[in-house]
Amino acid sequence: MADQDFSTLTNDNIVAFIGDIFKRRGADSYLGEEVTMSEHMLQGAQLAEEAGASDAIIAAALLHDIGHYTNEFPEDALAQGIDNHHDEAGARVLEKFFPGIVTDCVRHHVAAKRYLCATDPDYFGRLSPASVHTLGLQGGPMSAEEVAVFGANPNLEAILQVRIWDDQGKVAGKVTPDFDYYAPLLQRVVDGPESPLSRRTRSNGQEMLETKP
């Protein structure tokens, strides 16, 4: 699928397109961390699933760093210099197919680090050395004014939680499900609440699918 015609991307093939990127590019190094890009994102999704998060939040945890692969996307999706900012670049591509809470978590996961550094005195000490380095490049802790603006986001809780899983998903050698395991979940999120498979129930900690009548 490396020769994908971007103009043909739809709700029906976007998940396969992203899966192809994971398979071809997932082994790329992750900014000096001890895990690859795919290992990092899959660990985020696993942490979200283990916490009982919704499909949308699991999708956000899985896709939060997809913007690092901006060269995989059409040029018009990377306008106005956003190719230098993986958070914005990823959100710009996903927003055509995924609900707002997913793209909010992707778009703001970098800013969430800056917010938490400014509001949680213990947070900075939990960052990896690589994340500390990028914090400086990303503007450092937020100012009081920035904190007030960011804190008004209606999806703040989800954004911050995805950020925390982002920080935790850097364990070398950790075993996770692969992308194909999460592909049906991503498709449910893309299809939205009207999808026959979008309703979920949980029983004894096990996630089950329930078809709408």
**Is 200 a domain residue?**
no
Query: Does any domain span residue 194?
Result: no
In-domain check, residue 212: no
Q: 22-63, pLDDT tens digit by residue?
A: 888 877 766 667 888 899 999 999 999 999 999 999 999 999
Q: pTM (2 decimals)? A: 0.79
Residue 199 in domain: no
Structural domain for 57, as ranges: 9-178
**pLDDT-above-70 percentage for the chain:** 77
* DSSP H or E run through 102: helix 100-107
In contact, 128 and 34? CB cutoff 8 Å: no
Place of tokens 């793209």: 103
> How many domains would you assign to the chain?
1
Q: Is residue 161, in this structure, part of any structural domain at all? A: yes
Is the residue at 204 inside a domain? no
208 inside domain: no
Determine the pLDDT at residue 85.
Answer: 66
Residue 45 sits in a domain whose CATH number is 1.10.3210.10
Q: How far apart are CA 102 and CA 95, in angstroms?
A: 8
Long-range contact list for 22-29, CB < 8 A, 24+ apart?
22/179, 23/179, 25/69, 25/72, 26/179, 28/68
101/63 Cα distance (integer angstroms):
12
For residue 3, is it within any domain?
A: no
